[in-house]
Structure 1
């Protein structure tokens, strides 16, 4: 009998709405207002807010806050545009604050 593969996913810490897969983590070394955050290649079941320019640790970026589509809790932000060439890899990716997501095993 083959070993069963267990998928690790992340959910909103308020309502447990599924938002991302562990395998989609690009980096665990991001910093948010409240502490550590993870950069995901994409996320689901989120709503993207209005875009705005923000000066972050790595320079000026156009970003939009992302919220849980079920409960409306702000979970992080999405990079829409990076102005520094070395930061272009972030475009289209989503940062979720570690304390606002919980691991769930599916």
Structure 2
């Protein structure tokens, strides 16, 4: 493997929760109204420091899409997916855009998104102290 060159972002950005590699600027969010298996997901126009997996057809809530999983270039963690093709006319705006799963990244303030179940467990643990 060759030398790894990372792009460092300035301002408010999302980053890998495992290795803190920069991914995307807050200003590049198109929508916060997306959902994934682990809860919230955000649609971005641009994402950096990722590699892509193989193309596959996935049936999603909004219909059939061709997608590739996206991985952190530094640690290899899966962090979301990229829309390669959308078959419904109303979904074409997603093509070439990226989803970052909120559960898998740190927020601009360093916060980690917790699912409702994890938040409940964390609250219970705090009450026990």
TM-score, length-scaled by structure 1: 0.91
Structure number having the greater strand percentage? 1
Unaligned runs of 5+ in 1: 1-5
Unaligned runs of 5+ in 2: 1-9, 110-129
Structure number having the greater helix percentage? 2
Mapped partners of 1:61, 1:104: distance in 2: 29
Deviation for aligned residue 1:104? 3.7
Q: Which runs of 4+ in 1 moved over 6 A?
A: none
TM-score, length-scaled by structure 2: 0.75
1:7 to 5, 11, 30: 11
Post-superposition Cα deviations, 1:59-105, rounded to whole Å, max 9, x if no partner, equal 00000000000000000000000000000000000000001111246
The structure having more radius of gyration, on CA atoms, is 2
Aligned-residue CA RMSD (Å): 1.2
Contact 2:26–2:108 at 8 Å: present in 1 too?
no
Q: Which structure has the higher relative contact order (CA within 8 Å, separation 6+)? A: 1
Aligned length: 100
